[in-house]
Amino acid sequence: MRHWLHTLAILVWLSGFGGTAFAQAAGAPPPQAATSSRKTAVNPADYVGAETCATCHQAEVKGFDNDPHAKLALEHGGKGVTCESCHGPGKAHVESGGVASDIFQFTKATPKQVEKKCLSCHIGAHPNFERTAHGQALISCTNCHSSHKFVPETKMLKAKEPTLCYQCHTDAKAAFAQPFHHKVNEGLLKCSDCHDPHGTFQPSLVRTSATQDAICTKCHVDTLGPFVYEHPPIKTEGCTSCHFPHGSPNSRLLIRSNVNSLCLQCHSPSMNFTAPGTPSFHNQANQYQACTVCHVQIHGSNANFVFFK
Amino acid sequence: MMSAIISKSLSLNIRSSALAISVIVFTVGTIVGRPVFAQDTTPPASPGDNVRFGYVIHQSVDFGGHIVTQSGSGAMYDTLVNIQSGPRLLDSSFQMTAVSPAHALLFDRLSSNSFGYGGDPVDGTFMNVSKGRIYNFQGSFRRDRQYFDYNLLANPLIPPSSTPFVPALDTPHLYNTVRRMTDVNITVAPLSAVSGRFGYFQNINQGPSGSTIHVSAEGLLLQNWRVSTDVWNAGVDWKPLAQTSVHFDEFITRYKGNTSWQLTGLNYKLANGTPISLGIDLSSVWNTPCAVPFAANGTVNSNCNSFLAYTRSAPTRTLFPSEQFRFQSASIPHVAMNGRVMYMGTTSNLVNYNEFFNGLQSGGIRQSVMTGSASARRINVNADYGITWQITPTIGVSDTFDFWYFRQPATNTFTTTTYAGTSTLLPPGAPRRPRHLTTKP
């Protein structure tokens, strides 16, 4: 029992330390006081209304009329709060002559504070966010979203996909510059077609298809199956056990330059793999470097157990 | 508005360098209303705006084109770039925003943008329409042509020291297919306590492509590629408490596989003049498809493994009914949790498999006919649960639980009838006793 308590204490201490370290690494300013996360009793008299905000913040208020957030105002018959639903009551800010610290500022808030503000309404759509790599790395909502600017091409994003995603995911940008790649840069696909940046239960924030398979099968429907003879890695390890999903110098986005060097990773005599080894008549060194010249239905077949047809 | 834009040049380094220069020579922007909205917020109606029927309208259309010159491997250029000369709709956008959303009848926002039409390998149209708290509609159509002729793939099969040396100039798995994807989704009452979602997605992938069949020799096939899915989905969202919601989704996916195969590459002749294929694996180094494939007069050795005819069809139909129940809650202070349970029972049927081979293969088989059917099911159960307890602003505990179960019973039954023979100059002999094979892997 004491051993467990010691372990728990160390874990709690480490998690607190880790959280602090993350916040500092992200360059987050110290938490804001007052209007941020602490729950206080709502006093209607503390709210001044969007018209008052507009006297100084004309650009933001005008833009808000064209913002999907304006639907909230419609929900309340046009009388619902707009600016102050996110920034908090503005009375103190107004009475102080516009002192910035008297109202919630998203630009000065910590990522956690911003996240809490946004998720107070949007958690229904993004329940996994706090457990995602984005959430854990303290990437706040406003790193990607701009709540005041709405343009049809980008919706609420600060830039179009994939430009926005590339700002951090430089490895993905390099991958999509490979000779063979999914057509993201060409505009056919978006990062969010395959990934949900707000989180899923899958690794790498990957979405699930309507058939509860890897999202790859949404487009690559010929691999959907089920097949009488199915290549086991498809189910047990997934598409990425053989393919790079973003881009590759290999024409089939394979993770190896030669087809046979990929296949032999499993199909070799080994105590660690149950996959059968290649027969002796397969001249792997020279003649049959591309296994899929014969094993054409490599994802699965209903008629042939070695995937010939 | 007119402008000239010189786009980047593309260079390829295969054997000889290839240069592709795409020059957009003519761009016409037709702008009704104010200039294109770019990155700034669209302001509400102002005296300069184009207001029609109670909507502020912004639209732009960019016409242009490509002039492409290219040298070197055309197949590789098409595989990697595939931008060709011709006029194009480079980009267009259209937006209508209600001046007074409360008085707009059908929608208070409509936006659409398109690109690539006129011959580019990728083109698409995206559309959003919404009416306040009534509905939110999103639709898109995307089309892309995939050309692939990467001619290095088969070369190890045919070393240059082969006699005769007949290099593979095109990949045996060439393809020139087109994928069309249509996606429409509507959410009804998105801000209400109960809202509904309906959607449809269609994916059609078709076109000519190449394939191979290993029947002693390596036959080159024309593969008439045609696969598609239709996905219908309906869902309901219920928000019983603040910060708590439950969701149910039903997905129905219908897969149709109509790809068929037929022999091609009948490049040689028998002594009687009949066209015949020796397949793509033609090499004296490997003694394939036989040690002496040609007679002295250049005709094909009739005792060599070869193809005179081959067809195959395997029409496949699969139904994927899939249910999903989700919930999330953050109603308990400092605790957020969510989870889902999914179930799917898939049935796939290959009802009428038909394969015909005429030629010669090892074992003295002169002809074969294979017919049959196959059926496969997949039962999938998936459950996930995640919880986060934010103990203090800097200390939190989070965990997820995943459960996945699936099984895939399948069976097939095939009947193969073979006909004996040792020469492609002679007709097939008497049929051997049919072989029936039923498999339950």
Under an 8 A CB cutoff, do B322 and A212 touch? yes
The rounded percent of chain B whose pLDDT value lies above 90 is 68
Q: What was the pLDDT predicted at A229?
A: 95
Tell whether B128 and B146 lie within a shared domain.
Answer: no
Chain A, nearest residue to B240 by Cα: A124
The closest alpha carbon to B23, from B9, B35, B36, belongs to: B9
Picking from B77, B105, B132, the residue at the C-terminal end of a domain is B132
Q: What was the pLDDT predicted at B21?
A: 34
For the record, the structure tokens of B426 come out as 């002679």
Q: What was the pLDDT predicted at B287?
A: 87
A35-49, A96-110, A261-275: range with highest mean pLDDT: A96-110
Annotate A86-123 with b (16+ C-beta within 10 A) or e (fewer): bbbbbbbbbeeeeeeebbbbbebbbbbbbbbbbbeeeb
Under an 8 A CB cutoff, do A124 and B237 touch? yes
pLDDT band at B40 (very low <50, low <70, confident <90, very high): very low
Tell whether B29 and B177 lie within a shared domain.
Answer: no
Task: Using the predicted structure, report yes or no on whether residue B2 has a pLDDT greater than 50.
Answer: no
CB atoms within 10 A of CB B69: 12
Tell whether B153 and B13 lie within a shared domain.
Answer: no
The closest alpha carbon to B389, from B433, B326, B332, belongs to: B332
Diameter of chain A by CA atoms? Answer: 88
| CB proximity list for B402: less than 8 A, separation 6 or greater | A201, B383, B384
Torsion of CA B159, B161, B162, B167, to 10 degrees: 50
Tell whether B148 and B126 lie within a shared domain.
Answer: no
The answer to whether B322 touches B344, Cβ cutoff 8 Å, is yes
Contacts of A235 in chain B (CB under 8 A): 406, 408
pLDDT, mean of residues A170-180:
95
Q: What was the pLDDT predicted at B97?
A: 86
Residue range B17-34, pLDDT digits in tens: 333 333 333 333 333 333
Tell whether B298 and B257 lie within a shared domain.
Answer: yes
Q: What was the pLDDT predicted at B153?
A: 54
Q: What is the 3-state secondary structure (H, E, C) of B5-57?
A: EEEEEEEEECCCEEEEEEEEEEEEECCECCCCCCCCCCCCCCCCCCEECCEEE
Q: Which of A228, A236, A299 has the most B C-beta neighbours within 10 Å, making it the best mutation to test the interface with B?
A: A228
Under an 8 A CB cutoff, do A152 and B128 touch? yes
Chain B stretch 257-316, residues whose beta carbon is closer than 8 A to a beta carbon of chain A: 257, 259, 280-281, 283, 286, 312, 314, 316
Q: Is B106 on the interface with A (CB under 8 A)?
A: no
pLDDT, mean of residues B51-70:
92
The closest alpha carbon to B97, from B113, B111, B112, B109, belongs to: B109
CA distance to partner chain A, nearest, from residue B420 (Å)? 22
Looking at the partner chain, which of B122, B213, B312 has a beta carbon nearest the beta carbon of A186?
A: B122
Domains identified in chain B, total number: 2
Least confident of A54-63, A176-185, B238-247, B326-335: A54-63
Tell whether B229 and B114 lie within a shared domain.
Answer: no
Picking from B105, B132, B159, the residue at the C-terminal end of a domain is B132
Average pLDDT, chain A: 80
For the record, the structure tokens of B54 come out as 């109670």
Under an 8 A CB cutoff, do A201 and B402 touch? yes
Contacts of A16 in chain B (CB under 8 A): 392, 394-395
The closest alpha carbon to B261, from A220, A229, A296, A221, belongs to: A296
Radius of gyration, CA atoms only, chain A? 27
Tell whether B271 and B414 lie within a shared domain.
Answer: yes
Task: Using the predicted structure, report yes or no on whether residue B119 has a pLDDT greater than 80.
Answer: yes
Domain housing B33: 1-132
Under an 8 A CB cutoff, do A149 and B40 touch? yes
Q: Is B102 on the interface with A (CB under 8 A)?
A: yes
Tell whether B271 and B398 lie within a shared domain.
Answer: yes
For chains A and B, CB pairs below 8 A equal: 235
Q: What was the pLDDT predicted at B53?
A: 87
Name which residue leads in pLDDT, B216 or B33: B216
DSSP class of residue A232?
T
Task: Say what the pTM is.
Answer: 0.84
Residue range B83-115, pLDDT digits in tens: 999 999 999 999 998 888 778 889 988 999 999
3-state secondary structure of A181: strand
Q: B159 vs A287, B163, B164, CA distance in Å?
A: 8, 9, 10
Picking from B75, B100, B132, the residue at the C-terminal end of a domain is B132
| ipTM for the predicted complex | 0.84
Q: Is B162 on the interface with A (CB under 8 A)?
A: no
Q: Is B387 on the interface with A (CB under 8 A)?
A: no
Q: What was the pLDDT predicted at A76?
A: 53
Contacts of B203 in chain A (CB under 8 A): 218-219, 221
The answer to whether B112 touches B141, Cβ cutoff 8 Å, is no
Chain B stretch 359-378, residues whose beta carbon is closer than 8 A to a beta carbon of chain A: 370, 372, 374-378
Contacts of B40 in chain A (CB under 8 A): 149, 151
Chain B, nearest residue to A158 by Cα: B39
pLDDT band at B38 (very low <50, low <70, confident <90, very high): very low
Under an 8 A CB cutoff, do B42 and A66 touch? yes
Under an 8 A CB cutoff, do A123 and B336 touch? yes
For the record, the structure tokens of A231 come out as 């290549």
Which residues face B294 on adjacent strands?
Answer: B300
CA A20 centroid distance within chain: 23
Looking at the partner chain, which of B340, B353, B394 has a beta carbon nearest the beta carbon of A19?
A: B394
3-state secondary structure of A277: coil
pLDDT, mean of residues A215-225:
92
Opening angle at CA A209, ends A206 and A211, nearest 5: 145
Under an 8 A CB cutoff, do A224 and B229 touch? yes
Tell whether B98 and B240 lie within a shared domain.
Answer: no
Tell whether B207 and B244 lie within a shared domain.
Answer: yes
3-state secondary structure of A16: helix
What ranges in A123-182 are assigned the alpha helix state H?
A: 133-136, 141-144, 163-166, 170-176
Under an 8 A CB cutoff, do B80 and A225 touch? no
Name which residue leads in pLDDT, A126 or B41: A126
Tell whether B248 and B366 lie within a shared domain.
Answer: yes
Task: Determine the Cα–Cα distance for residues B30 and B58; give it in Å rounded to an integer.
Answer: 10
The answer to whether A221 touches B205, Cβ cutoff 8 Å, is yes
Looking at the partner chain, which of A66, A224, A293 has a beta carbon nearest the beta carbon of B44?
A: A66
Name which residue leads in pLDDT, B361 or A51: B361
pLDDT, mean of residues A105-128:
88
Q: Which of A11, A161, A293 has the most B C-beta neighbours within 10 Å, making it the best mutation to test the interface with B?
A: A293
Tell whether B54 and B171 lie within a shared domain.
Answer: no
Q: What is the 3-state secondary structure (H, E, C) of chain B?
A: CEEEEEEEEEEEECCCEEEEEEEEEEEEECCECCCCCCCCCCCCCCCCCCEECCEEEEEEEEEEEECCCCCCCHHHHHHHCCCCCEEEEEEEEEEEEECCHHHCCCCCEEEEEEECECCCCEEEEEEEEEECCCEEEEEEEEEEEEEECCCCCCHHHCCCCCCCCCCCCCCCCCEEEEEEEEEEEEEECCCCCEEEEEEEEEEEEEEEEEEEEEECEEEEEEEEEEEEEEEEEEEEEEEEECCEEEEEEEEEEEEEECCEEEECCCCEECCCCCEEECCCCCECCCCECCCCCECCCCCECCCCCEEEEEEEECCEEEEEEEEEEEEEECCCCCEEEEEEEEEEEEEEEEEEEEEEEEEEECCCEEEEEEEEEEEEEEEEEEEEEEEEEECCCCCEEEEEEEEEEEECCEEEEEEEEEEECCCCCCCCCCECCCEEEEECC
Name which residue leads in pLDDT, A7 or A139: A139
Average pLDDT, chain B: 86
Task: Determine the Cα–Cα distance for residues A67 and A193; give it in Å rounded to an integer.
Answer: 23
Contacts of A229 in chain B (CB under 8 A): 410, 441
Under an 8 A CB cutoff, do A225 and B42 touch? no
Task: Using the predicted structure, report yes or no on whether residue A244 has a pLDDT greater than 90.
Answer: yes
Q: What was the pLDDT predicted at A188?
A: 93
